[in-house]
Structure 1
Amino acid sequence: MTTNQNSVPPRVGARLSRRGLIGASLAGIGAVGGLGDTARAASTGSGHAEYTASTAGLSTLADTVFDALERHRLVALGKVHGLREHHDALVSVLTDPRLPDLVDDIVIEGGNARFQPVADRFVAGQAVAAAELRPLWRDSTNSPLATGDEPIYEDFIRILRAVNWRRPNNRQVRLLLGDSPIDWSATTTPDQVLALRNGRDAFAASLIQREVLKKGRRALICYGAGHVTHRAPVAQPPSQTAAQRSSQPSSPAPDGLVSLIEQRTGRRVFSVVTLVPLADDPGGLAARLAAYPRGVVIPTAGTWLGAFDAGNVFPIVAPGPSGRPVNVDCGVPLGALVDAGFYPGRPEDLTMSRPNPAIYLDPVYWAELQRRNGLQGGMFDLSTPSRYARPELRP
């Protein structure tokens, strides 16, 4: 789950014991909208997104990415966390022969930048022990809410290593870890965690400026969908006077990674988000998408998708004019926020990646998750199965 770091804190699940977590992982508790643990692959049998070029103006995710990189230095892909179909489509991008010629760097959200030297060695093909590699995703600022233990995240890094293995050193793709460099062993107060967590997007924007743009490189940015939207102005009721508007608290669209990059550099980022309807599907997105073959990318420029209410796609919450939380994207056309949407398939056919339950039999790791939770005031309840179950899909 992605939340804006300058607005409300992440939603918190109920308590989960280690035994409860293992049981939840085995049973696949918490799948939503028909999401299950067993992937139902397309008729290709490969598990990758099926694509039928039956509709003019549509393309695969790989074709969209590489076409955009001919015109933009940065392309951002907004995911639904844990969604296997997004990962499958992303694998098609990683393994495309065009990748090394058009992508210099891949920036990921759930990687602790403190371990950048480890990531550099690993994706370059050097020997790295599993115990040294795991902190890349386990030690993020979002732990213990999110640990990155779903297998698709390690799989992504290993696939990039395999892609680089076939390339000479000067043609390899670098993996950039975009999460703030938190040292959990030296972190003892909630304020320490919050400061780094709230600065994640600003840290990543500086990283991309320094390591990508200033070096004349091109990058693929892989983040939660809420981080990759363009900044959009907030509509004010037309009946209000300027004096009335200025006297009320504002509810600006939260600044995510892409909007920060664009504000700081003036450089446009091409942004694609994975489209999964919210709970109860306000706006009827699922019905509109059902007419398309799964695995296609739909542009927002000049299409119904561009005019679709973004509030029915992104549940981004911030204080409104009354001071109460509101969805700041309600009434904003989706085309003002993103350039295209990737359709992974019908909600009832989508699947989630789940952690291996054996992970939580490790007493050292489990104790550390409990410590991190405790130093933040026990804000995450770790005693019932809904802790690791996602009650709804949110980008």
Structure 2
Amino acid sequence: MNQVRVGLCVATSLALGLCADAQPEASGSAIAQIAKEFDKHPLIMIGELHRWEQLHAFMREMIRNPEFVCRTDDIVVEFGNSRLQELADTYAFGGTVTDTQLQSLWRETSVPLTWNSPLYRQFCETVRDINRQHVCAHPIRIVLADPPLDWSKIKTAKDYAPWADRDASYADVVEREVLSKHHRAFLLAGQFHVVKQTPEGDKDGTRAAQLIERKHPGALFSIVAVPSPAVAEAMHMGPPPSFRIVRGSELQNADFAMIATMNPNKKWPPLGDVVDGLLYVGDQTFLYPSPTIYLDPAYHRELRRHASIIKEFSGQDFMPVIDDLVNEARKAEKQKQ
């Protein structure tokens, strides 16, 4: 037993009450097990680490699988501006959309940079493809859940402020576009948006999952991805991809801080109070776009304007990252010459 395994078992033994190599509760594929949760819950939500290649590969496989996707009506995503829902519908249902229009879905959101990873375009392409192939008897809709802000009308932090609560926007969209229509949906958002309880002393507001659960207790089954093989071993996950239900298992009293990618040093409630399931997809590599996209003058100028307003509003400064990306792109262009 290596030192990592020993350390993790010591860390988890008090919470789990064991360190034996227990077998995961698995029958059939991880996708089939997750799909089965639709028997009890109209909403299944996965919390991602943004740009995680292996997780996105699994999710693309999942939404190509009729056993899962045909049980859904909608796929709700964090990475699109809900003001552009009509455009998303046109694209998902096979209509003509220019590349600039498609990019606007994620470039016009309330936060910059993250969604430029090719993974989010690939996700949209996958939904469009399954609709084109008529994988299900009904079309699957991409539902955009970021606040419906119009950047052309936002000039100051005061203009931006009404659109800053991304969790409330996400929950409102789920209520309006899914639950009020008695639909089922697969929900995708960052890890911290899917937690049902937050760490002690958290001042970042109520999360989307909490808002949904508050109004519809039991409607949501939330899943987070295990971030490393070492943690997966401590949690007794099977070979990737593997899935485990937390509540009702020995995992429910484990320390969520082992999995948390945000605020891991804070005091979290037990794992079973925070999420309902764990997903393990193996390695963790991240996919970024070519930095040359930031050399487009119009996009570069607008990106800096967005970043300046966000900094004025919250203090979060994206400018150094933008500067680094532009410098990297210019170096890459020089090397081509």
State TM-score, norm by structure 2: 0.80
Partner residue of 2:46 out of 73, 77, 99 = 77
Cα pair 1:139 1:147 within 8 Å, conserved: no
Q: Please tell me the residue identity of whatever aligns with 1:213.
A: L
Deviation readout 1:67-88 (Å, 9 max, x if unpaired): 0112211110111110001101
Q: 1:343 aligns with which of 242, 257, 280?
A: 280
Q: Quick check: 1:110–1:179 contact (8 Å CA) kept in 2?
A: yes
* Matched AA of 2:211: L
Identity %, equivalent residues = 28
1:301, CA displacement in angstroms?
Answer: 2.4
Task: Show the counterpart of 2:12.
Answer: none
1:384 aligns with 2:324: yes
- State the one-letter code of the partner of 2:149: I
Aligned AA (1:88): A
Seen in structure 2, the aligned counterparts of structure 1 residues 218 and 60 have a Cα distance that, compared at 3 Å, is same
Q: Which residue of 2 aligns with 1:368?
A: 302
Letter in 1 for 2:190: G
Deviations, residues 7-62 of structure 1 (Å, cap 9, x unaligned): xxxxxxxxxxxxxxxxxxxxxxxxxxxxxxxxxxxxxxxxxxxxxxx854365442
* CA shift for structure 1 position 287: 4.8
The range that moved more, 168-177 or 157-166, is 168-177
C-alpha deviation, 1:100, in angstroms = 4.7
Amino acid aligned to 2:101 = E
2:45 partner amino acid: A
**Whole-angstrom CA distance in 2 between matches of 1:73 and 1:260:** 15
Per the alignment, do residues 75 and 259 of structure 1 end up closer, same or farther by CA in structure 2, a change over 3 Å counting? same
Distance change >3 Å, CA 301–CA 169, structure 1 → 2:
closer
Are 1:180 and 2:147 counterparts? yes
1:206 is displaced (CA, Å) by: 1.4
Match of 1:271 in 2: 222
Aligned counterpart in structure 2 of residue 226 of structure 1, from 163, 188, 192: 192
Whole-angstrom distance in 2 between the partners of 1:385 and 1:90: 28
Q: Which residue of 234, 250, 259 corresponds with 2:210?
A: 259
Establish whether residue 141 from structure 1 lines up as the match of residue 87 from structure 2: no
Cα deviation digits, residues 86-143 of structure 1 (max 9, x gap): 1011011110022453100000001001110000010001111111111101111012
Greater displacement, 290-299 / 93-102: 290-299
Task: Identify the residue that residue 240 of structure 2 maps to in structure 1.
Answer: 294
Of 103, 113, 118, the match for 1:151? 118
Closer, same or farther: CA 57–114 of 1 in aligned 2, 3 Å: same
- Quote the offset at 1:343 in angstroms: 1.0
Provide the C-alpha distance between the structure 2 equivalents of 1:80 and 1:175, rounded to a whole number of angstroms. Answer: 20
In the alignment, which of 289, 295, 303 is matched to residue 355 of structure 1?
289
Alpha-carbon spacing, 1:218–1:114, altered in 2? closer, same or farther (3 Å): same
Q: How far, CA to CA, are the matches of 1:100 and 1:287 in structure 2? A: 29
Q: Quick one: structure 1 residues 271 and 85, their matched pair in 2 at CA, closer, same or farther if it must change by over 3 Å?
A: same
1:211 partner letter: E
Which aligned pairs between 1:1-395 and structure 2 lie closer than 5 A?
55-57=24-26, 60-143=29-112, 146-167=113-134, 171-197=138-164, 199-231=165-197, 251=202, 254-277=205-228, 285=231, 287-288=233-234, 292-317=238-263, 328=266, 330-345=267-282, 349-377=283-311, 379-380=317-318, 381=320, 382-384=322-324
AA in 1 matched with 2:155? T
Q: 1:203 to 1:369 in 2, by over 3 A?
A: same
Q: CA RMSD in A?
A: 2.8
Cα distance change, pair 308–344 in 1 and its aligned pair in 2 (3 A): same
Aligned residues: 300
Name whichever of 261-270 and 333-342 sits farther off: 261-270
Provide the C-alpha distance between the structure 2 equivalents of 1:170 and 1:295, rounded to a whole number of angstroms.
Answer: 27
SS at match of 1:98: helix
**C-alpha distance in structure 1 between counterparts of 2:326 and 2:270, whole Å:** 34
Counterpart Cα distance in 2 of 1:168 and 1:334: 36
Larger helix share, 1 or 2? 2
Q: Does the 8 Å contact 2:192/2:207 carry over to 1?
A: yes
**Pair 291,267 (structure 1): closer, same or farther in 2 beyond 3 Å:** closer
Decide whether aligned partners of structure 1 residues 227 and 377 sit closer, same or farther in structure 2, where only a CA change above 3 A counts: closer
1: CA distance, partners of 2:36 / 2:136: 25
Q: Is the 8 A contact 1:74 1:221 kept in 2?
A: yes
Change in 2 beyond 3 A, CA 1:59/1:272:
farther
- Matched residue of 2:134: which SS? coil
Q: Is the 8 A contact 1:233 1:253 kept in 2?
A: no
Instruction: Quote the Cα distance in structure 1 between the aligned partners of 2:273 and 2:326.
Output: 35
Report SS of the residue matched to 2:175. helix
> 1:220 aligns to what SS in structure 2?
strand
Q: What amino acid maps onto 1:337 in structure 2?
A: V
Give the Cα separation in 2 of the matches to 1:126 and 1:169: 18
Q: Which is bigger in relative contact order (C-alpha 8 A, separation at least 6)?
A: 1
1:252 positional shift = 7.1
CA displacement at 1:384 relative to structure 2: 3.3
